[in-house]
Structure 1
Amino acid sequence: MSLGVAQRGRVSWRALLAVLLLVFVAAAGWFWLSFTRFAVTPLRVNATGESVDIGRGTSFKDIVHQLRSQGLTTSAPLYWRVLAEKMRVAGRLHAGEYALTPGITPTDLLNAMAQGRVMQRDVTIVDGWTFRDVLQALAKADRLKHETAVLDDAAIMRRIGAPDEKPEGRFLPETYAYVKGDSDLDVLRRAHEAMSKTLAALWAQRDPSVPFATPYDALILASIVEKETGRADERPRVAGVFIRRLQKNMLLQADPTVIYGMGSSYAGSIHKSDLITDTPYNTYTRTGLPPTPIAMPGKPAIEAVLHPAAGNELYFVARGNGTHIFASTLEEQNRNVACYQLKRCQ
């Protein structure tokens, strides 16, 4: 009789264990299905341009809390921990700002954070901009630390490692990527290095007949060519005109240099009185090159002055449609001016 009771007890325990095992397996299966769905379900990103900014030293627990507080996920922290452990990234997530594009999943985000694919933004230095234009663009750049606002030009050049240089013309027009935490000085440092490398490389390949004593002289003339024409087909011809005038000790008579020398007094047009008002940049009153570039020349303008078009043209005048007409003699130039500037074509 007692043996039967014991047997019934063992059967009951086995049944209970079987039930518990079934419950455990069902729970584990449910968890795994739920977890798998979580890993590939897009986060709650409302619009393009959203981001999450993870501070340096933030723990994994706090990262998940931040994601939940931003409303990006309602999933339990355990899911995030299991996913991170499964991906083997829990201890190597990088701080920084990460883009949240519509459709991004928890797996995508943890991958990006593990690889340090922080969000990048762009700022562009445009061909022909002055240094003032560059500083204004940097001041408007989103999430870029603005350190130049309290610095003068000399201090800026010292901070980027070029203490003996004037800033005008020294930064290569290009699009530069930056991340949160970078400063405008970082962008300027990279743009300055890019210009130095580009100028050195182009100088080494220059036409040996060009009359420049230094690469800086070429940079100065390239800035004038940059401001005179934006047409690729005209740059070598314009460069050729200016180089021949330099060789003949003629005045360059470049309007953009006059405008640059006028500074803030320039109001959109120049008059005859401006052409005869002497400044260090007035190439109507002074022979040779001005003391510095007048803008940021792009690579094509530098190439043009180092490989100018051959010929005997010494003059050019704007047609009024974005192109120029060239002349070899003053008589021909005067006719062109009368026709295209004064509208007295014969």
Structure 2
Amino acid sequence: MYIKKILLTLVFIGLVAAAFFGYYVYTVMFKPNTAFNNETAYIYIKSTDTYTDVREQLKPLLKNIDKFDALAKRKKYVNHIKAGRYAIKNGMNNNDIINSIRSANLPIKLSFNNQDSLEKLAGRVAAQIEADSIALLNAMKNKDFLAENGFNESTALGLYIPNSYEFFWNTSAEKFTNRMLKEYNRFWNGSRKAKAKAIGLSQDEVMALASIVYEESKQPSEQPRIAGVYMNRIRIGMPLQADPTLKFAAYKLPQYQGTIIKRVLNVHKAIDSPYNTYKYVGLPPGLIAMPDISAIDAVLNFETHKYLYFAADAKRIGYHKFAKTLSQHNANAREYHKYLNAQGIMR
């Protein structure tokens, strides 16, 4: 009888211990452990992060970080950190969280447009992925990479076709440039290459002219007409006389750093630069800004006409008036200059 009581007591203790252990396992693994109100929280784990770094990001998001630690050690996550962007959904338990941050790296939508230099592009991209702007700029300017793929520092900006792309957040600078090269080659499909050949321009020349067209007008409806003006000038050997190229050349000079040129003057036309298309015939050596896809296609599909000139339209800001003769152009230009004077814009 005495032994039976002992056995019953031991069984009871075992059941209590099992129940306690089961509850502990439940609270550690399966009990919801999130402490935020939003539907989803995101953490960004760098390639150099340790478990301590990850823990610091998780701590304000969890009710009990110690129980998370216990399971992370048990599942050996503490020694196998994976870089990336991860989602933690409200109501997740520790087991779900560890599974998410270990294997569910989420891509981001990376976008860029209208950057006028590799430096600005590097800064724009660095704000969206792990790679910093210095690493990105070094990769973008890597002479071996550029030479191997038919680019130089003047044409390098043309490699980056403005759009939205899907990337993993922890993408390195080198992986970014390699991916952009693939996107560039995909963009320049057989149809676009054939059109470039048909109009007598290389891909680099198309991009350079598209950058001018885009800086002249952000209106897709008139970009093909502006491209047609420049193609007419190229055809007859007339200087492009593109004001945006003068601004680009000026901004390279110390006296124009930090300024905004709102009105092109004769002093700008005297700048000695290969980008001065008043002084030198033909296309400049590279892009003056990142053109939109609409401007690139506008060059490839330029409007056939007899216009040789265009001037900003004072009555429709953002649009232009086109002319076949210099006298008509001068009349259009005087009308716009009168508008600038009335606005007090003298330089």
Per the normalisation by structure 1, the TM-score is 0.74
Would you say 1:327 and 2:323 are equivalent positions?
A: yes
Match of 2:67 in 1: 75
The structure with more radius of gyration: 1
Whether the 8 Å CA contact 1:207–1:306 is kept in 2: the answer is: yes
CA distance in 1, matches of 2:278, 2:271: 9
Match of 1:36 among 3, 6, 26: 26
Match among 208, 228, 245 for residue 240 of structure 1: 228
Q: Is the 8 A contact 2:240 2:278 kept in 1?
A: yes
The residue matched to 2:66 in structure 1 has which SS? Answer: coil
Distance 1:201 1:337, change over 3 A: same
The equivalent of 1:262 in structure 2 is: 250
Amino acid at match of 1:74: D
Per-residue CA deviations over 1:125-169 (Å, capped at 9, x if unaligned) read 32352223223435666742455489598x523256547523232
Where do 1:58-97 residues align within 5 Å? Answer: 66=55, 70=59, 72=62, 73-75=65-67, 79=71, 84=75, 95-97=82-84
Q: What amino acid is the match of 2:224?
A: P
Contact 1:45/1:102 (8 A) holds in 2: no
Partner residue, 1:3: none
Residues of 1 paired with 2:57 and 2:200: CA distance? 66
Over the matched positions of the two proteins, sequence identity in percent amounts to 22
Deviation, structure 1 residue 49: 7.0
* In structure 2, distance between residues paired with 1:230 and 1:263: 21
Query: What is the alpha-carbon distance in structure 1 between the residues aligned to residue 53 and residue 237 of structure 2?
Result: 71
1:187-224 deviation digits (Å, cap 9, x = unpaired) = 33333442243134552352775232x22221211111
Query: Is residue 210–residue 296 contact of structure 2 (8 Å, CA) maintained in 1?
Result: yes
Q: Which runs of 5+ in 1 are unaligned?
A: 1-7
Residue equivalent to 1:203: 192
SS at match of 1:19: helix
State the 1:254 CA deviation: 0.8
CA contact (8 A) 1:224 1:257 kept: yes
What is the CA distance between 1:273 and its match in structure 2? 1.7
- The change in CA–CA distance for 1:108 and 1:236 in structure 2 (over 3 A counts) is farther
CA distance in structure 2 between the aligned counterparts of 1:68 and 1:57, rounded to whole angstroms:
11
Question: Counterpart of 2:238?
Answer: 250
Distance 2:132 2:176 in 1: 10
**Which ranges in structure 2 are unaligned for 5 or more consecutive residues?**
341-347
- Determine the C-alpha separation between the residues in 2 that align with 1:178 and 1:195: 19
1:5 corresponding residue in structure 2:
none
TM-score, length-scaled by structure 2: 0.74
Structure 2 counterpart of 1:16: 6
Contact 2:208 2:284 in 1 (8 A): yes
How far off its partner does 1:306 sit? Answer: 0.7
Within 5 A, what are the aligned runs for 1:1-346? 8=1, 12-38=2-28, 39-44=30-35, 51=43, 53=45, 66=55, 70=59, 72=62, 73-75=65-67, 79=71, 84=75, 95-99=82-86, 101=88, 103=90, 104-115=92-103, 117-118=104-105, 124-138=111-125, 143-148=130-135, 156-159=142-145, 161-162=148-149, 165-166=152-153, 167-175=156-164, 177-180=167-170, 182-201=171-190, 203-204=192-193, 206=195, 209-212=198-201, 214-265=202-253, 266=256, 267-269=259-261, 270-319=264-313, 321-343=317-339
- 2:249–2:276: 8 Å Cα contact kept in structure 1? yes
3-state DSSP class of the match of 2:195?
A: coil
CA distance in 1, matches of 2:197, 2:68: 71
